[in-house]
A = this chain, B = another copy of it.
Amino acid sequence: MTSHIHCQNCSMATLCLPYLLSPEQTEKLDTIIQRHRPLQKRDLLVNSGQKLSFLYAVRSGSLKSYTLDSQGGEQIIDFHLPGDVIGFDGLIDGQHRSYTQALETTMLCEIPIQSLDQLSAELPGLRKQLLRVMSGELHASKTLLGTLNHHSAQQRLANFLVTLSSRFKQRGLSSREFRLSMTRADIGNYLGLSVETVSRILTQLQQDGVVAVKSKLVEIRELERLRALTL
């Protein structure tokens, strides 16, 4: 008998919806949650315009969300790491508002919105956590707006690395050394920079000894100096 994955023993529980819930309440939440089939690199999880019936929680791996502009070009608006919940921006009209694609092999949980709403009526902690998670996303999005609007390419990239580092730390992974599952083009797209600029600035940061980059592997050598570069 295989040991199925449950919220009760999920390592991402503290970042995800179970946060604030007692063991008994978490068990209740678990009963409405399904596992989703694993995604391979480049697999699409959702299409823009698709009916929003589930929220998805990332268990492992990573994804990017993007919209298409009038010329069919990607506009990346988010990278999703384990513990993140996907789909909140579609609640307004019951449709997904973007495409979401796996950047590597990725495992997900599937949360039926209908059941989630019913359950949240009886669990104040779940209600609160739903609002907290959405609020956090909203805050992150607005903060990023400010960052992109008022900062240079170097500042944007430094900020990107610092933010990633702290997100990995939250997830119990190394904040000093991590793997970029997205391409340089993805990073540039997300930050409003060209691929070439991203590459140039990474090599420059490396020459300055602030980070060490080897292909997709990043090592942050001097976090404080990097942090200073975000300002």
List residues of chain A with CB under 8 Å of any chain B CB.
67, 69-70, 73, 75, 77-78, 88-92, 97-98, 117, 120-122, 124, 127-128, 130-139, 141-146, 148-150, 189-192, 231
The CB with the most chain B CB atoms within 10 A, among A91, A133, A145, is that of A145
What's the Cα separation between A67 and B151 when bound, in Å? 14
Q: Given the complex, which residues of B lie within 8 Å of A130, measured CB to CB?
A: 131
Q: A130-B131, A150-B75, A231-B70 are in contact. Are A141 and B143 (CB under 8 A)?
A: no
Q: Given the complex, which residues of B lie within 8 Å of A146, measured CB to CB?
A: 67, 69, 75, 77
What's the Cα separation between A75 and B75 when bound, in Å? 23
Q: A67-B146, A124-B117 are in contact. Are A135 and B89 (CB under 8 A)?
A: yes
Q: Given the complex, which residues of B lie within 8 Å of A97, measured CB to CB?
A: 139, 142-143
Q: Given the complex, which residues of B lie within 8 Å of A139, measured CB to CB?
A: 89-90, 92, 97
Among B73, B127, B142, point to the contact of A141 (Cβ < 8 A).
B142
CB pair A127 B117 closer than 8 Å:
yes
Q: Given the complex, which residues of B lie within 8 Å of A67, measured CB to CB?
A: 143, 146
Interchain nearest-CB distance for A115 vs B (Å): 13
CB pair A149 B148 closer than 8 Å:
yes
Given A77-B143, A77-B145, 9 other A-B residues pairs in contact with their CB atoms under 8 A: A75-B146, A88-B134, A89-B138, A91-B135, A92-B132, A92-B135, A97-B143, A117-B124, A134-B138
